């Protein structure tokens, strides 16, 4: 049944090609991206509709995809007849376009990109999802949706799972129900990254025909460490970045070429972007304002403003209000309360400048002997704060500041070389040969970062929230360096970026293709000691010493060094053959990991003794056969008329069973 999705994508791509793009430039990329956006829209709409009728199950989801494919097939035959097009002619046109694009990139650049993303594809297909956020809330919600047959909120100790935007998980829900497997979860972000690269290539071609600019821009985007690492996870930062970059491209494309498909794909991207992550608004806002001003300035475009604004507002509300309302019912706010700590509260312009600088310096840290480089940078940052009369850790500007060194984790990796290239772009903008619209694009990109910093405080894991900014900046980097670098300089730069990205593709700290245990036990310690890098490589540093995904069992990928203790614990649970399992968790508990390892036919899970407002969703008839707790509840407690007593305790986990 999983083939229904690629079949629908192929049909949607062919239909978009015949209907809109066969006589335009870049027809394959435009058609494929438009088809993908329409598929995303179908997933969002069908999930909410089926959920309203408690039909989120495999037969209903499969039936909806069969109907969607039937509709696309009917449209395909109609368009094919209207345009008198043959399958062979369309395939030949696509192959010709792909061959031309590869020739423009050059064999060397194509080989580097293909090898890099072949590595990440292997990991995405083989590795069990084990990102910390995914284990806590991204994936855990899927099990409860399937269990209850809808996407309504449920009682949960993990507030993020019932208050953070759900679209990325809707995609996972469909792939899970169609395939009966988690195998395709990590491909969502991987394919979104591929789509982003296609969008970046079209943005660069929109402003310039330079091959060097195209090669540098694509290599810059493809080799960002945080992007490489996230393309192998089930987080949602690349998904929302796809909609942000798409919005930027369609805005400029419409203003230049007056293509209505570009204009009316923007409302879909806005609605789905907001449905994926709230940060979409901050990054896309400057491009939306630019589009509206551009439409107002051109008389022939003004007549489209009312329809465009109505479509944007209506579609965004229709897709997002159901989830916002469900959240509002529980928390009294449509966005929940768990993310309030990330919001800024400024008491003056100095606080804002401080926040911008801390977001910037997040990427400037690096390893050095005795940590001298980071110490120097931090001292300079502290001097600036002293001159402004602002505390570097002022309330309302985020977490306590900390300079990064070097990290291979998808939550903390930063873009050291990427940020320096962007910084170097700023003075070069005054000398580079760029068009006026390209300079406007660069200004809007920087504006998106400044708006983001106005609303979101500094976080040590903020690098992944900056993904959209770096990807928006990729065309600018390509255009600037493509105009100032000689051919040999561009080749050196792209090769350097590619070599710097390979370790992140191969040695991810959570799911490495090559064993990091060997690297951090045999190779790195002498280097660390000789250069006085002072990097911790023990277990406290996010379990750096991991086995390869090619040989590691799923349990070890999920629980790391705690897996031996977890095997004993899970054996204690399964020994009682429970049908109903209660979870008494913390906000950071690995909900999905428990579901993954304990899942059996007929077995159900539910959160019990919930202390946040979602406790009203607890089923009073639910009396679990066992309760797994990750916070102490004493020797015994009562729940729904049943007494539970402590049976087993170890490694910060407690197992409670009904008393006789």
Domain coordinates in residue numbering, the chain: 1-105, 128-184+553-660
Q: What percent of the chain has pLDDT over 90?
A: 73
Mean pLDDT of all residues in the chain?
92
Predicted pLDDT of residue 312: 92
When pLDDT is averaged across residues 393-416 and rounded to a whole number, the result is: 88
Predicted pLDDT of residue 23: 84
Task: Determine the straight-line distance between the first and last CA of the chain, rounded to whole angstroms.
Answer: 46
- Going from the C-alpha of 396 to that of each of 87, 381, 453, 454, the distances in angstroms are 59, 18, 12, 11
Alpha-carbon distance 216 to 198, whole Å? 14
- 9-24 burial code (b ≥16 CB/10 A, e <16): bebbbbbbbbbbbbee
pLDDT tops 60 at residue 542: no
pLDDT tens digits, one per residue of 419-455: 999 999 999 988 888 899 999 999 999 999 999 999 9
Task: Point out the least confidently predicted range of 192-201, 375-384, 395-404, 626-635.
Answer: 395-404
With contact defined as beta carbons under 8 Å apart, do 645 and 659 qualify? yes
H/E run at residue 644:
strand 642-650
Confidence of residue 341 (pLDDT cuts 50, 70, 90): low
Owner of token pair 């058609």: 31
Confidence of residue 340 (pLDDT cuts 50, 70, 90): low
Spatial CB neighbours of 598, under 8 Å, sequence gap ≥ 6? 570, 573, 574, 581, 605
Alpha-carbon distance 438 to 444, whole Å? 10
Task: Give the 3-state secondary structure of residue 232.
Answer: coil
Q: Which of 275, 313, 273, 271 is nearest to 292 (CA)?
A: 313
Confidence of residue 84 (pLDDT cuts 50, 70, 90): confident
- Give the global pTM: 0.96
Confidence of residue 237 (pLDDT cuts 50, 70, 90): very high
Confidence of residue 227 (pLDDT cuts 50, 70, 90): very high
Predicted pLDDT of residue 539: 52
Q: Pick the residue with more confidence: 558 or 33?
A: 33
pLDDT tops 70 at residue 101: yes
Q: Helix 58-83 vs helix 167-179: angle between axes, to the nearest 10 degrees?
A: 100
Q: Pick the residue with more confidence: 660 or 301?
A: 301
Alpha-carbon distance 484 to 482, whole Å? 6
Predicted pLDDT of residue 543: 59
pLDDT tops 60 at residue 604: yes
Q: In what order do the strands lie in the sheet with 642-650?
A: 604-607, 580-584, 626-629, 653-658, 642-650, 636-639
Predicted pLDDT of residue 231: 96
Most confident range (mean pLDDT) of 94-103, 337-346, 532-541 is 94-103
Alpha-carbon distance 127 to 10, whole Å? 27
Alpha-carbon distance 553 to 551, whole Å? 7
When pLDDT is averaged across residues 318-341 and rounded to a whole number, the result is: 88
pLDDT tops 60 at residue 541: no
Neighbours of 332 (CB within 10 A): 10
Confidence of residue 546 (pLDDT cuts 50, 70, 90): confident
pLDDT tens digits, one per residue of 21-60: 988 888 999 999 999 999 999 999 999 999 999 999 999 9
């Amino acid at each position: 049944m999983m083939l229904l999705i690629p079949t629908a994508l192929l049909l949607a791509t062919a239909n978009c090609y015949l209907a809109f793009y066969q006589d335009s430039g870049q027809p394959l990329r435009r058609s494929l991206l438009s088809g993908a956006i329409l598929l995303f829209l179908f997933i969002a709409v069908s999930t909410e509709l089926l959920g309203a009728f408690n039909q989120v199950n495999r037969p209903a989801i499969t039936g909806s995809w069969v109907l969607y494919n039937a509709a696309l097939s009917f449209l395909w035959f109609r368009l094919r007849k209207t345009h008198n097009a043959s399958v062979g002619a369309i395939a030949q046109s696509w192959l010709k376009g792909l061959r031309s694009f590869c020739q423009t990139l050059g064999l060397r650049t194509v080989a580097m990109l293909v090898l890099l993303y072949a590595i990440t594809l292997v990991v995405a297909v083989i590795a069990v999802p084990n990102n910390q956020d995914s284990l806590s809330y991204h994936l855990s919600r899927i099990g409860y949706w399937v269990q209850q047959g809808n996407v309504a909120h449920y009682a949960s100790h993990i507030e993020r799972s019932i208050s953070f935007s759900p679209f990325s998980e809707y995609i996972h829900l469909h792939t899970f129900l169609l395939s009966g497997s988690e195998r395709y979860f990590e491909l969502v972000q991987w394919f979104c990254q591929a789509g982003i690269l296609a969008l970046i290539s079209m943005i660069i071609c929109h402003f310039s025909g330079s091959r060097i600019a195209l090669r540098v821009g694509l290599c810059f985007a493809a080799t960002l460490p945080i992007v490489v690492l996230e393309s192998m996870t089930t987080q949602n930062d690349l998904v929302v970045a796809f909609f942000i970059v798409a919005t930027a491209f369609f805005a400029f494309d419409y203003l230049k070429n007056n293509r209505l498909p570009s204009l009316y794909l923007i409302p879909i991207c806005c609605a789905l972007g907001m449905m994926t992550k709230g940060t979409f608004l901050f990054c896309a806002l400057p491009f939306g304002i630019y589009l509206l001003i551009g439409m107002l300035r051109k008389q022939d475009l003004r007549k489209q403003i009312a329809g465009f604004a109505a479509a944007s507002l209506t579609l965004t509300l229709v897709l997002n209000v159901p989830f916002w309302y469900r959240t509002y019912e529980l928390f009294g706010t449509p966005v929940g309360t768990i993310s309030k700590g990330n919001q800024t509260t400024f008491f003056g312009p100095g606080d804002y400048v401080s926040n911008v600088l801390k977001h910037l310096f997040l990427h400037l840290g690096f390893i050095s002997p005795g940590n001298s480089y980071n110490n120097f940078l931090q001292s300079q940052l502290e001097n600036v704060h002293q001159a402004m009369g602002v505390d570097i850790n002022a309330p309302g500007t985020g977490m306590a500041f900390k300079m990064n060194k070097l990290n291979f984790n998808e939550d903390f990796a930063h873009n050291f070389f990427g940020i320096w290239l962007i910084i170097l772009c700023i003075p070069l903008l005054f000398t580079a040969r760029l068009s006026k619209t390209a300079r406007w694009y660069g200004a809007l990109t920087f504006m998106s970062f400044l708006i983001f910093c106005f609303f979101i405080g500094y976080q040590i894991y903020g690098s992944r929230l900056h993904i959209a900014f770096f990807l928006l900046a990729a065309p600018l980097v390509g255009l600037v360096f493509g105009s100032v670098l000689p051919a040999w300089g561009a080749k050196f730069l792209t090769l350097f970026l590619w070599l710097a990205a390979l370790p992140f593709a191969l040695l991810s700290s959570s799911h490495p293709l090559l064993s990091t245990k060997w690297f951090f036990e045999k190779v790195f310690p002498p280097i660390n000691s000789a250069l006085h890098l002072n990097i911790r490589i023990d277990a406290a540093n996010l379990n750096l010493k991991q086995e390869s995904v090619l040989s590691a069992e799923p349990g070890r990928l999920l629980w790391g060094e705690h897996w031996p203790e977890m095997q004993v614990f899970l054996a204690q649970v399964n020994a009682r053959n429970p049908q109903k399992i209660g979870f008494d968790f913390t906000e950071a508990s690995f909900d999905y990991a428990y579901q993954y390892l304990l899942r059996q036919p007929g077995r159900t899970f539910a959160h019990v003794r919930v202390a946040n407002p979602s406790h009203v969703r607890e089923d009073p008839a639910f009396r679990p056969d066992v309760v797994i707790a990750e916070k102490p509840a004493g020797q015994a407690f009562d729940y729904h008329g049943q007494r539970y007593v402590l049976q087993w305790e170890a490694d910060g986990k407690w197992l409670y069973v009904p008393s006789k």
